[in-house]
Amino acid sequence: MGEARADYPLARYGGSSPPRSPWLESALANVPERGSFDCVGAGIELLTWGKRGLPGLLFLHGNGGHADWWSFIVPHFARDRRCAAISWSGMGRSGWREAYSVERYADELLGAIAAAGLAEAGAPLVIAHSFGGIPLIHAAAHHADRIGGGVLVDSFVPPPERKTPGWVVSGRPPPRYASEAEIVMRYRFAPPQDSDHPDIVDFLARRSVRQDPASGEWAWCFDPRMWATVDRSAADRFVEQARVPLGLIRGEDSALVSRDHLAAMATRLPDCRFVTEVAGARHHVMVDQPQALVTALAAGIAELEKH
């Protein structure tokens, strides 16, 4: 076993996978259909569950993540809904771009709705974690006719003075590792945290890496140049223009989204339907309290669909 460190939650397992809980095994048994669609020259990874023609749900991950961050949450909704999750360009198994922008990410959101057939029963709802809430706000202001509403999960839109995160990657070539075990042991969250669900962390980590077929080395599935071009504050001026009903969910112990952030966002939104905290959860709510998040999302969706 390796060293136990909160900032490297898998180090203690020495590259091996911890045992999976029955809950996670059951959720992951509902395997998505995997595909992709083109959005302005980049292939966007697309995961889908459920039958076409049912009410649509689109799930958006946070910065540095990928579509599979939702793979153990979405199955709880897929029996009665057509569901999809994407990996943003520059992340997961999606293509990389020369330049990134909130506007282009909003295009990817809308492209996913079309590619997955989420609007066949009416405009779908969008569930967005962390960074994913920023393109959602942009789309809610500019394309309200194509979105029925949304939920921001531990997400807020930074003001212009915080357009670039303090930990911005320099753009230099990312490190490479000799084996999958070595790179998985280096997996960590931002903000850093440990987890009581190492099986979930291991699942996410192994889908966050890829092997170079030429060299055999392993690297992260994330474009380090992304923050050199994207302005994450670009949607701040559109919060008051969001023309769809929205709800807010916060991890009770989040180090990123404070209660003040949540209150300010709720005040600014024209139609904020609910504000909910998930007890015992930090920023990565689906990792800390996955079952409680499912419950909170189900209640929030019901609120959004009230007339």
Q: Which domains does the chain have, with CATH numbers?
A: 11-163+179-304 (3.40.50.1820)
SS3 for 248-307 is: EEEECCCCCCCHHHHHHHHHHCCCEEEEEEECCCCCCHHHHCHHHHHHHHHHHHHHHCCC
The rounded distance, in Å, linking the Cα atoms of 114 and 39 is 11
- What is the per-residue pLDDT across 286-307, written as a single tens digit (0 to 9) for each? 999 999 999 999 999 999 998 6
Q: Which two tokens stand for residue 17?
A: 């996978």
CA of residue 92 relative to chain centroid, distance: 11
Closest CA to 246 of 232, 235, 234: 235
The pLDDT value given to residue 2: 46
Distances from the Cα of 239 to the Cα of 142, 155, 262, angstroms: 11, 13, 13
Instruction: Decide if 89 contacts 153 (C-beta within 8 A).
Output: no
**Token pair of 180 as six digits:** 């999958």
Whole-angstrom Cα distance, residue 94 to residue 46?
A: 9
Q: How, if at all, do strands 33-39 and 42-49 pair?
A: antiparallel
Regarding pTM above 0.85, the answer is: yes
Given pLDDT bands bounded at 50, 70 and 90, which one contains residue 152?
Answer: very high
Cα 129-199-153 angle, rounded to 5 deg: 10
Q: What is the pLDDT of residue 227?
A: 84
State pLDDT tens for residues 94-105: 999 999 999 999
User: Tell me, what's the pLDDT at 303?
Assistant: 97
Q: How far apart are CA 200 and CA 202, in angstroms?
A: 5
**Strand, coil or helix: 242:** coil
Write the DSSP string, 20-48.
Answer: PPHHHHHHHTSPPEEEEEEETTEEEEEEE
pLDDT of 166 above 70: no
Q: How confident is the model at residue 277, as a pLDDT?
A: 98
Mean pLDDT score across all residues of the chain: 93
Summarize pLDDT for 243-281 with one digit per residue, the tens: 999 999 999 999 999 999 999 999 999 999 999 999 999
Residues 205-232, mean pLDDT to the nearest whole number: 93
pLDDT at 259: 94
